[in-house]
Amino acid sequence: DKGNHRHFMQKEIYEQPEVLSHTLGAFVDMTTGRTRIPNGQTLDFSNVRRIALSACGTGYYAALVGRYYLERYARIPCDLDVASEFRYRESPLGDVDLALFVSQSGETADTLASLRYAKGEGLRIASVVNVQESTIARESDVVLPTLAGPEIGVASTKAFTCQLISLAALAIHAGVARGVISPERELELTRSLAEVPRLANEALALEDTVEALSREMATKRHALFLGRGFSYPLAMEGALKLKEISYIHAEGYAAGELKHGPIALIDDTMPVVVIAPHDRSFEKTMSNMQEVAARGGRIILFTDAKGAAGSGSDMASTVVLPDMPEILTPIIYAIPLQMLAYHTAVQMGTDVDQPRNLAKSVTVE
Ligand code: M6R
């Protein structure tokens, strides 16, 4: 049932404040502010030397944010692969002690094969999964549940942001176990995570602004998405969302890679989506944005009030998000990117919930 929404995708975008709050509740005791592994399970990070993450599609981009979180908040080195490569690469696992998988369906063939490979190599297996009765959940030593509820739209939305909030809480939990995060800092970070439902609602309120920008996007054949640091995985996720449902060719790049090739694509017809909250990467991303502007690129900038003030905003269509702690930016900035893809696809009249050639769950290679 789509309720009063036109598509399941839109309904699922709107469910995010609620399902993010449920998912967070599994990982954080909201009365004490302490993180935990859900359902009474344990996962001891104190002696983990290295984590190997893998997943497919949107799950892979969630895992990429997960790597940034685990490295920054728990100081654990991480490897990351798309599952279709991990399963065959026979990479020497060296000091990897834990394999971490991310899957909405829990049935993706390549992710499952990677899990079985890692298990065969004697690794401990933890999986962030949305479908609790899935094969990946059953075969994991530790199940990290996302409580997004059933996701019908082929383009993943609420499952992605729930994966991110789980991984953020997990990284904090790991940081505490390793003595990298003090108990006070843990409380501060979980207090930040508790702001997610409110901030997600504020992001949803940007729908009309984003819809207006989608009108021009719908006239394009190509688009480039740029981000740095925590926003780099989002650039790729934003591009994947757009290409899946609008069939516009979109590429996500680390903003610092612009000069190494993609800048050749920029002319006054090229839309460039820049994701740049006012964080430690902001100034660098702005200089990349100026390079795009100097070549006439049509910029859509997602930033906050401080970022908008510092961007020389006349060169971009700017969408201003609320201020938020750095750890939250991937979760909240995902929402307007989902809405941009959604409204572009609606303008173009594609089958948003069942885009051509795609299946919700890829159970064969
Ligand atoms: O069920 P999974 O999370 O394992 O699925 C992985 C990908 O097939 C999935 O994320 C796909 O990329 C989505 N259609 C993205 O919107």
Q: Which atom of ligand 1 is nearest to the CA of 108?
A: 4
Give the Å distance between the CA of 221 and the centre of ligand 1: 24
Show the ligand 1 pocket: residues with CB < 6 angstroms: 56-59, 103-105, 108, 111, 154-156, 244, 358, 361-362
pLDDT at 365: 86
- Looking at ligand 1, which residue's alpha carbon is closest to its atom 4? 103
pLDDT at 165 over 90: yes
Q: What percent of the chain has pLDDT over 70?
A: 100
pLDDT in tens, 60-119: 999 999 999 999 999 999 999 999 999 998 888 999 999 999 999 999 999 999 999 999
pLDDT at 1 over 90: no
Give the Å distance between the CA of 237 and the centre of ligand 1: 11
Query: What band does 289 get if pLDDT is binned at 50, 70 and 90?
Result: very high
ipTM: 0.99
Give the Å distance between the CA of 166 and the centre of ligand 1: 17
Give the Å distance between the CA of 156 and the centre of ligand 1: 6
Average of per-residue pLDDT across 207-230: 97
pLDDT in tens, 294-348: 999 999 999 999 999 988 767 789 999 999 999 999 999 999 999 999 999 999 9
Residue 360 appears among annotated catalytic residues: yes
| Closest CA relative to residue 223, chosen from 356, 348, 56 | 348
Average of per-residue pLDDT across 191-209: 98
pLDDT at 39: 97
Please state, as a whole number, how many other Cβ atoms lie within 10 Å of the Cβ of residue 31. Answer: 6
Q: Which atom of ligand 1 is nearest to the CA of 55?
A: 4
pLDDT in tens, 22-72: 999 999 999 999 999 999 999 999 999 999 999 999 999 999 999 999 999
- Looking at ligand 1, which residue's alpha carbon is closest to its atom 8? 57
Choose the residue to mutate in 54, 104, 151, 241 for probing ligand 1, maximizing ligand atoms within 8 Å of C-beta. Answer: 104
Average of per-residue pLDDT across 264-282: 95
- pTM, entire model: 0.98
Q: Which of 119, 220, 284, 360 is catalytic?
A: 360
Give the Å distance between the CA of 359 and the centre of ligand 1: 9
